Amino acid sequence: MPTELCLARLVRRDWLTDGPLSNLVASYAESLQTRRYADGTLQAYLRCLAHFSYWMRREGLAADDVDQKLIARFIQHHLPTCTCPAPRRSDVKEVRAALNHLQALLPEVDDGATTTTPLAAELERFGDHLRHTCGLAPPTCTYRVRHVEAFLFGRFGSDSPEIGLLAARDIDAFLNGLAARWKPASRKLVCTSLRSYLRFRAMLGDDTRILSATLPAIANWRRRNPPKVLSDVQLEHFLQAFDLTDPVGLRDYAIARCLLDLGLRGDEAAHLTLDSVDWRSGVVTLHSTKSQRVQHLPLPVQTGEALGRYLRQGRPQTGSRALFVRHRAPFGVPLSVAAIRNAMNRAFVRCGMADLFCNTHVLRRSMATRLQKTGASIKEIADLLRHRDLNTARVYARVDLERLRAVALPWPGSGS
């Protein structure tokens, strides 16, 4: 639909044409149309934009003033008490989505005048060390920096951290403060993050040996129970929850097969591309793995069939090389990890198992369990799951309870 026609349908089109955002309206509409947003959605977003433009004009603001803080101010403070003339668009979710598209069109401003705090500079150096020296995956770098930030801010505020002023009581106080809210496994990750930061400071010449020795070994007995997995019957019901006559159902079923048959993590499935599958050799190549290493997996027949059916009958026409893409506007955008997780959760709802299972990792564990029951060794399971440490896969040795009962010794004094 031409931009002129879109504006002609707006009751308050003068709020756009005569407002501070007038020069951006054409590119805004063109951007949404390029990503194949429906005409109704485009009209609704333009009405939201008109409301925002009217408010900006009343506040004496220009297009250069638009940033995340201004958008938050409009949504959080203006909308709840809005007295702008009707008709105006004031749905918070809709307004936020519309203005996010606007912000994507604005040129990036060099915020060189903004003062970077000493703590922020220190965290940036630490994050760069994790990414480029240690070669850690981006999610790992993110949570380690976040843990260290919480610890250093609690001790030094935004000032430059001085390792010489840290003592064992500072670490104890920080970890004790987490004890009431965080599980042992999470606190163990925090200790790993702090230990990683102390190693980083040791590389810079600081003596961190005492502080490193102060970090406790947090007990965590999370593996006392076998991992939660789908039984064969539950797995059959789960796979039947996908509508293979619908393009989205074909896509989600292909994702489920990748998680179940290849043991992929959600992030690995999200980063698959059309080039990841070698159809002639029957090999799937993973480039974005947790270990940051390129790895090759055999392509099972049922997985290849599901992928082939999706590519031929379900995948929309798009220039994106991502294997799994959105089927709604914005079209062609690769599915995020959250979108893949939500797709699997919707399938659990449809098959009536939402109260038992959720997310994607249960499918990966179910694959490992199926392998164990067929006689695969722990080493083979670890290799397929791409575990560096063999002990990580040993938990699956306790899944087959029937075999364990067969080899269990009688309890002393039980009389049997």
Q: Is 245 found in the same domain as 350?
A: yes
Q: Are 307 and 321 in contact (CB under 8 A)?
A: no
Q: Is 253 one of the catalytic residues? A: no
**From the candidates 290, 341, 350, 394, which is the catalytic residue?**
290
One-letter amino acid for residue 64 of the chain: D
Look at residue 277 in the predicted model and tell me its pLDDT. 95
Collapsing DSSP to helix, strand or coil, 83 comes out as coil
Q: Is 153 found in the same domain as 34?
A: no
Tens of pLDDT, residues 122-132: 999 999 999 99
Closest-CA residue to 259 (of 226, 303, 213): 303
Question: Which stretch of DSSP H or E encloses residue 296?
Answer: strand 295-298
Q: Is 122 found in the same domain as 177?
A: yes
Q: Is 295 found in the same domain as 392?
A: yes
Residue 339 in domain: yes
Residue 351 in domain: yes
Q: Are 24 and 60 in contact (CB under 8 A)?
A: no
Q: Please give the tally of structural domains in the chain.
A: 3
- CATH code, 191: 1.10.150
Q: Is 374 found in the same domain as 255?
A: yes
Domain that holds residue 13: 3-105
Q: Is 125 one of the catalytic residues? A: no
Residue 224 in domain: no
Q: Is 97 found in the same domain as 163?
A: no
Residue 226 in domain: no
Q: Are 276 and 287 in contact (CB under 8 A)?
A: yes
Q: Indicate whether 221 pLDDT > 70.
A: no
Tens of pLDDT, residues 323-361: 999 998 888 889 999 999 999 999 999 999 999 999 899
Q: Is 194 found in the same domain as 323?
A: no
Domain boundary among 218, 249, 269: 218
Alpha-carbon distance of 112 to 412, in angstroms, equals: 74
Domain boundary among 105, 135, 154: 105
CA distances from 213 to 19, 144, 155, 208, 370 (A): 62, 19, 19, 9, 41
Residue 326 in domain: yes
**From the candidates 51, 78, 88, 265, which is the catalytic residue?**
265
Collapsing DSSP to helix, strand or coil, 63 comes out as helix
Tens of pLDDT, residues 180-200: 888 888 899 999 999 999 999
The confidence band for 302, taking pLDDT boundaries of 50, 70 and 90, is very high
20, 24, 29, 30: CA torsion to nearest 10 = 170
Q: Is 123 found in the same domain as 100?
A: no
Residue 126 in domain: yes
Tens of pLDDT, residues 239-264: 999 999 999 999 999 999 999 999 99
Q: Is 202 found in the same domain as 342?
A: no
Tens of pLDDT, residues 40-82: 898 899 999 999 999 999 999 998 888 888 999 999 999 999 9
What are the b/e assignments for 35-53, b being 16+ CB within 10 Å?
Answer: eebeeeebbbbbbbbbbbb
Q: Is 237 one of the catalytic residues? A: no
Domain boundary among 105, 132, 163: 105
Residue 410 in domain: no
- CATH code, 347: 1.10.443.10
Q: Is 388 found in the same domain as 253?
A: yes
**From the candidates 12, 326, 364, 365, which is the catalytic residue?**
364
Residue 337 in domain: yes
Q: Is 368 found in the same domain as 247?
A: yes
One-letter amino acid for residue 405 of the chain: R
Q: Is 379 one of the catalytic residues? A: no
Q: Is 332 found in the same domain as 258?
A: yes
**From the candidates 101, 237, 361, 373, which is the catalytic residue?**
361
